[in-house]
Structure 1
């Protein structure tokens, strides 16, 4: 998986410490000699500001705040005019390619990305009440992340793009893992499912305080992808960039630039403002169909979703004629999405 380089090199804090220690010594000497506390107060205030700036940047790096802010500020790319080798950012609905993943613990099928994190309690107390104090910490003892090639249908252009990753590709995922299992101090016995999962990975299944989190991106989810576009024989492919992407200085947020390695992948919730803004800027109606249940006369397999751009009279995902697309759209609008047999959602 990818990573983001620390905006503050490790020698910098040591250098700042070496600078501030003599400054404090000189300020203390001035305070004792001439009874002037202005210099000491100034040095103290300056050190607090510098320390806060360093802590703020490190915190934003660890929480992916800098990367998320950079991704939100980057404009969405128009694939119709994008050039080969250009760094692009698109938002759309994902679908599995040749290989579909299964989440590690919950066994959720038809995933394009899955991550599992296992933590062990290393606090000073054995009571879980101490887990809310400062005298505890959870140690990350196991990480499992997988990603497969997948397709994404761009909301803006309707183009279907292959996102291609290899086993050694660097990925920067912006996916929040949910809490799945958390043993308590009263009952440290592990469940049979958790024991089996640990044994399969050659991890200790002894009774102890554990916390397991898992995140995944299922087929049909909305994503934002940033990577390098490749055009070849009319096929659009997004691959991880060969060089790191710099976020630049975000002075309004007091953030230093960081270098992001690999493909950036962000999971969007249905009510995410980024998804709503991406759709509303197009000046047309987009309808996402969750399933096709009116395909009795259809002899071919229908996809799990369908996108219709009524303004440009074009359908994506499943080829329909424009009159039929308009007829279904009119039915949906006039009956307030009550078209029998279809489950649809208007994003605007």
Structure 2
């Protein structure tokens, strides 16, 4: 069995900690380990280093080696230009043997109750023996969340495993509220399990624009992969395959989970900040303060605010707008690019 970690994101919503040189998956946001290292260590409970592959950006190969020195060098693929998750999933799956199961996981998610996580995994493996297909892991909603995609579930095929009926992109608040209360919708965790041959057969049928350019590629030869990428459609695995295939199943994950998609996710996990010798919060409530500076920070008379300070910059935003931090990053990059062109 193989495991593939998708580690190519830019993590713009975690500015100013996340930068072009060290994006979110390499940040030590909790427990003094990077998100990538946490994910890798979790997989090491079931997989040997030789059976774990990481797909990342070409720029982050050295960072990945620093984080995971025991991983074989040939198991780290650096994409010259990312082509979204469908291409990354296919490259990772090609590293497996003919009928070998492949587990796909993002590098930057939080999973609590790890024992329950592996119980869900075993449930998927068992179900796959009787019902071959594409398996995804869904999480029961704990709130109305507009930042996640949802999966509508159909008939149950085995305990805790259902046929997938439909996939819904990030919904508006009213729909998210109804999904959370329906009992028929799960959060789309972005974690998958399939057999190599089954996945390739489905990709050939439903996503030829990804399958054809990559079908003969050696996943451990970056040059051939990146050459083939020039002809590959940039599309997510959800759009390319999950929304089209007729053999997609959902495993209900009975464990706490977060995609750690914004600073608000950190506040939900850790709780609001408390006052310290360098943080003052008079008349304020529900405040998150993160700082890599020795400077004192005061937040006075405000509620539901996030403050993050680093050498890269200062972020002040309302909790409800934490998803929009990437818009500020785009502004700075646009201004920086324009300035460079004018000189």
Length-normalised TM-score, structure 2: 0.22
TM-score by length of 1: 0.22
Larger radius of gyration: 1
Write 1 or 2 for the structure with the bigger share of helix: 2
